[in-house]
Structure 1
């Protein structure tokens, strides 16, 4: 049994490191092929690293590359993750950011276009896909992700306001550095980045599930064997067509778990009526897998 667990952990580690490598390539493509040629700033710590590079080139006798700046600016956040989240999470985050910095440094830019709108859209899309892919495979890309997790654990609140304020400062900086049209282009890139990331990373998108079945125990056992979720049972429901006895089950899952739910229902009761709708917000305890 121990050998099996070690094998599973080794497989998961290889998968996460491989994902970190893919993320590094994608963010370097976004940076070197689109953002830098188009004078577009990214969001979060990556955008701050770009700003540091621009300021050092203009006002200092030496230049701090975006690759080095990205890693150095994340160091305090690595320490925060190590102390407040978990050692494993901090290590994988460090590997991911290192891969991104290394790939940005090593991957030579290919001149495709300097059109700022094209660079904003495609840079945001490529980076959003890479970030979403990393989050989907259980690794963080560093930056404000770490701060968000710590704040949510301490206060239960989202980092949304802080994230928005930080990115607003990045957009304003783009305006001062390259002209105000570029602030607008950078804002377009941020929106595209966020939308593609949401499309790729579905774990935080919550869905309410209503199941009407005449085999409640079998369905509950099957769902909880596939997904770690609580289920509310409503007994003595009546079907209007045949007037037969039904049970209504309610649960909340993430969109990431949709395939597991469908598999569980096919195993337990493929004739059950299942209604699934998007949720805006959940109050109270909702289990999130540990990082």
Structure 2
């Protein structure tokens, strides 16, 4: 009985994720057709290539998005897995269909180039972020970047930047240099929105603190911030001196407060800070400090 319920729950989750990816595809299509394309602004990646191809050859944008993404979907299937490929097919198909049915809708922003790039980038990024957060993708160029980064001594972000540089050069042949620059700005804004949608506004941070007053530091963090912390022994690579390293996970709103505490107790403390996209398990809930 429990197994049956679990299967139903998993099936429901999969259906819900698929629906959200489809919605993300339609939102991204709206950003393209109602904001960017009417103002001669493109996107990066495969979508950008599809927009340019549509303008040059008069082919439907939706058809080009599907056709050009086919090898990247296969790449995603080989490198990431079956479920990712299926979800990406849903997302890309909804993006392609969305551009087809929204092709003649009136633009919601016209003329103001900066407003166009900001509004278009936000809408596009929100749609793409929804897809990525739920296990799919609306553009295949990121998959190629991941594969190249495994074969060559460069990072994924380096390849994404490198590949999109060629895309925007291609964009400039149709939309001109100004259009290519605006497209790059819109793409940058979209990438930042994708990051926010994927990780949320309330992301966490990990503070690692090496201080000669670890007990006082932990007690003060607990009393004034309501957060617990963990200890572990650390050794200096040069001096071989033993230290106590404190690890504390906080939300972003508590960042300035914990820095005040560290500065107050030990201004010479060695501190490293890491962004944390997700925290699960344990006892991360904040204690009442009032």
TM over 0.5: yes
SS at match of 1:110: coil
1:181 alignment counterpart: 178
Match of 2:232 among 231, 234, 245: 234
**Kept after mapping to 1: 8 A contact 2:88/2:137:** yes
1:196 alignment partner in structure 2: 193
Quick one: structure 1 residues 49 and 232, their matched pair in 2 at CA, closer, same or farther if it must change by over 3 Å? farther
Q: TM-score by structure 2 length?
A: 0.70
Tell me, yes or no, if the aligned pair for 1:28 and 1:104 is still in contact at 8 Å: yes
| Deviation string, structure 1 residues 150-207 (Cα, Å, up to 9, x no partner) | 345666853222211222223223322232222222122122112222222228x884
**What is the aligned residue count?**
237
- How far does the alpha carbon of each residue in 1:252-283 deviate from its partner, in whole angstroms, 9 at most, with x for none? 9864325x47x8233xx8379xxxxxxxxxxx
Hey, what does 2:40 align to over in structure 1?
39
How far apart, in 2, do the equivalents of 1:9 and 1:153 lie?
32
Structure 2: give runs of 5+ residues left out of the alignment.
210-216, 220-227, 235-243, 250-272
Alignment of 1:75-154 (within 5 A): 75-107=70-102, 108-115=104-111, 116-151=113-148
Counterparts of 1:146 and 1:55, CA distance in 2: 26
The alpha-carbon distance between structure 1 residues 152 and 166, as it changes in their structure 2 partners (threshold 3 A), is: closer
1:256 aligns with 2:277: yes
Please give the alpha-carbon distance, in whole angstroms, between the structure 1 residues aligned to 2:283 and 2:128.
Answer: 29
Q: CA RMSD in A?
A: 3.3
The question of 1:66 aligning with 2:67 is answered: no
For 2:24 and 2:161, locate their aligned partners in 1 and report how far apart those are by CA, in whole Å: 23
| SS of corresponding position for 2:278 | helix
TM-score normalized by the length of structure 1: 0.70
Structure 2: distance between partners of 1:45 and 1:200: 21
Corresponding residue to 2:156 among 148, 159, 162: 159
Q: For residues 199 and 156 of structure 1, do their structure 2 counterparts lie closer, same or farther at Cα, with a shift above 3 Å needed? A: farther
Give CA deviations for 1:221-272 in whole Å, capped at 9, x if unaligned. Answer: xx9xxxxxxx974269xxxxxxxxx9934679864325x47x8233xx8379
The alpha carbon displacement at 1:67 in A equals: 0.9
Secondary structure at 1:208 match in 2: strand
The answer as to whether partners of 1:129 and 1:196 remain within 8 angstroms in 2 is yes
Contact 2:142 2:160 in 1 (8 A): no
Report if the CA contact (8 A) 2:53-2:64 is conserved. yes
